[in-house]
Structure 1
Amino acid sequence: MASRTTHPVLDTRALNRATLARQLLLSRAEMSARDAVAHLLGLQAQNVKPPYFQLHARLADFRPAELAGLMESREAVRMVTMRSTIHTHTAHDALTLRPLVQPARDREVNYFRKGLVGVDLERLAELARAFVESEPRTMGEIREELLGEWPEADPQSLSVAARCRLPLVQVTPRGVWGRSGGVRLTTVENWLGRPAGEAQPVDDVVLRYLAAFGPASVKDMQIWAGLTRLREAFERLRPGLAVFRDGNGVELFDLPDAPRPDADTPAPPRFLPEFDNLLLSHADRSRVVAPEIKGRTWTGNQAHCTLLVDGFLAGLWKQEGSEVTVELFGKASPARREEIAAEAELMVSAMSAGSEAPAKVSVRFASIHG
């Protein structure tokens, strides 16, 4: 392996600008919603609205109806994949990324084995599949069906086993902007009307990850995917990759021709939803989150919407009707506040498409934390 002294060092700002460029956050991309979802390897989607706000922050002229249309036409779906969390994926990625992370979902079931004594997991998957493919079901209905077979099992453990063993998607209208609907589940194969494909080759996914999140370390990708033992894939690809070090000497890999903008490249303010991919996909998040504000995007189990200023996490925000409240972690000049307010007005206007947009957007700056 090459000596660490042979690799160029990327400081925090250089990493920040490179990551923002891959994430389409330096300037809004002229890209379709479908292509953006594919490029980003999915959108974190524990809640219904965040994928829409993620795309607004990244795409020129994005309107919620575009992603809603993909959901309704089944070109995009919501399902559990990376890190055992719900993501919005293209149909192709739903069918081929879930098999890649299936070993991790199988290991997850092992944590619940005490509640599954006497449960045949193959039989469980068979019964649950038949049940949800006859018609979409709630998780409560799935649990009750399985308790009929194994009444002594722990109900929550049965739910986890079904969710992990089967590639379940949340069917529409759940996930469609402007519509409401509880979570009802069926298999991805049943919903899309075709069988799951082979798992995407891990080497290909490494390259896709670097295109969307690089430059990155092996550990970064393992955190993003919820997988282990990815070092071998990076080593196979090493001859065709660019290699750097961060300020702590950690080895970073990248695609040779991927954008790595100058560290002084301007980064406009961006309003991001809770659970944005940018904040969850690296082991070392200092490229976006300064160490002194680490952990401030959460209160208990509640994640907050976040604001980027000059490319870095700078505050929190919330919207109530036509009012956007911004809480900054530090000081901002009057000119910077004007930029933030303009971006907030753009967001409210764009995300009101299909309904009557407010005549005036009010942007309020709350108490500032030094």
Structure 2
Amino acid sequence: MRVLDARALGRATLARQLLLDRADAPVLDTVAHLGGLQAQEPQEPFVGLWSRLRGFEPTALSDLLTGRRVVRTHLMRRTVHLVTAEDALSWRPRHDAMLRGRVLGTYRRELEGVDLAELAAAGRAVMADGEPRSMSELARALADRWPEPGPRALGEMLVAALIPMVQLPPRGLWRTRAGVRNAPFTAWLGREPDPPAPPGTDPVGETLVRRYLAAFGPAASADLRAWCGLAGLPAAVAAVRGELVALRDERGRELLDLPEAPRPDPDTPAPVRFLPAFDNVILGYHDRSRIIDDVHRGLSVTGARVVLVDGRVAATWVVEDGTVSVTPLRRLARADRAEVAEEGRALAAFLSDGDGDRVRVGAAPP
């Protein structure tokens, strides 16, 4: 069985994630290919797409949001993701149990004794007037009936788990600051999510396996679970295993992959790339070592924006007074610093609509 070292895995990941070469692809197709983009910070997906697409225009994503072809919704890992409307409608029922379980894991004591079916029906009745609401507005509308849990527990259970909801524009539009206003799938997309599959079948799970490997493979089953948050996928993996190839990493873990998916030569040059906060190229794995050193693993969950140098996290970046400011995590070679500065100037121009290209690359840590 072929063994892939960390560098080979990293290059495969970069190729699947469109980070080796920017792609000439429509934004909608790219969001679908990536299996969505984590979007709890509304402006971050724009940087993620800029780093992956040649000539990316932010208005293209904004138009997809207002045109109801891409939506912001709670999905994988109970986090807000930007996904195609088609995927949201298809995938949401497969995530329902996980979403409920994760909200209960946070608010089990507050929600003890609450009949969730009754709560869901009451929430749907409130939203039936077609008016979008914030989480707190929806919770307050039901507080007289369920005073004990408190608005946070009620609101999160309703919006993140019990009622498939979309976060409406203008939230998530380019250069727009707006609060969260929620509407049910039926109100925004015109129909309910697809019905659950018959018992004993898992077509959505099988699709998730294939789609994950296309965007993140080669990967272990634990990586798949870390990406989507779903525990019940072994049967789906088993169902499609005959379509897949089996590989191993240097530690002996079995990795699965699509036979024809790209696995570039480990020596393929990897350009500098600036990634947004919470990018799935890092969060989408249980074993994140193919992209980020264990000593820096915490950066991936604290919202740090990172810079890839030779395919690995080597710096963080922020925007300060219109300047892209880069802080290296290790000493960078002169050529790497020059490439970081060049890509940083391009990012600064993108973020300022071409009005500036200021970048500052700090000193390496001692």
Tell me, yes or no, whether TM beats 0.5: yes
Displacement after TM superposition at 1:295 (Å): 2.0
Percent identity at matched positions? 43
1:191 equivalent among 168, 185, 188: 188
Displacement after TM superposition at 1:109 (Å): 4.2
- Quote the residue 2:165 is aligned against: 168
Secondary structure, counterpart of 2:98 in structure 1: helix
- Quote the residue 2:73 is aligned against: 79
Contact 2:278 2:300 in 1 (8 A): no
- Quote the residue 1:149 is aligned against: 145
- Quote the residue 2:225 is aligned against: 222
Distance in 1, Cα, partners of 2:252 & 2:291: 18
- Quote the residue 1:4 is aligned against: none
Distance in 2, Cα, partners of 1:166 & 1:59: 34
Contact 2:136 2:152 in 1 (8 A): no
Distance in 2, Cα, partners of 1:173 & 1:122: 31
Displacement after TM superposition at 1:159 (Å): 1.8
Deviations 1:31-82 (A, max 9, x none): 0110000001100001111111110010010011110111111111101000
Contact 1:271 1:305 in 2 (8 A): yes
Distance in 2, Cα, partners of 1:324 & 1:152: 47
Displacement after TM superposition at 1:190 (Å): 1.3
The two structures have a TM-score, normalised by structure 2, of: 0.93
The two structures have a TM-score, normalised by structure 1, of: 0.92
Secondary structure, counterpart of 1:314 in structure 2: strand
- Quote the residue 2:109 is aligned against: 114
Secondary structure, counterpart of 1:106 in structure 2: helix
Contact 1:63 1:350 in 2 (8 A): no
1:126 equivalent among 86, 101, 121: 121
- Quote the residue 1:290 is aligned against: 293
- Quote the residue 2:280 is aligned against: 277
Letter in 2 for 1:231: P
Deviations 1:303-356 (A, max 9, x none): 111100001010100112431111111111222111111111112223333xxx
Contact 2:171 2:178 in 1 (8 A): yes
Secondary structure, counterpart of 1:207 in structure 2: helix
- Quote the residue 2:97 is aligned against: 103
Say if 2:2 is the partner of 1:38. Answer: no
Say if 2:311 is the partner of 1:311. Answer: yes
Displacement after TM superposition at 1:186 (Å): 1.1
- Quote the residue 2:199 is aligned against: none
Displacement after TM superposition at 1:201 (Å): 1.9
- Point out where structure 2 has 5 or more consecutive residues left out of the alignment: 197-202
- Point out where structure 1 has 5 or more consecutive residues left out of the alignment: 1-6
Displacement after TM superposition at 1:110 (Å): 3.5
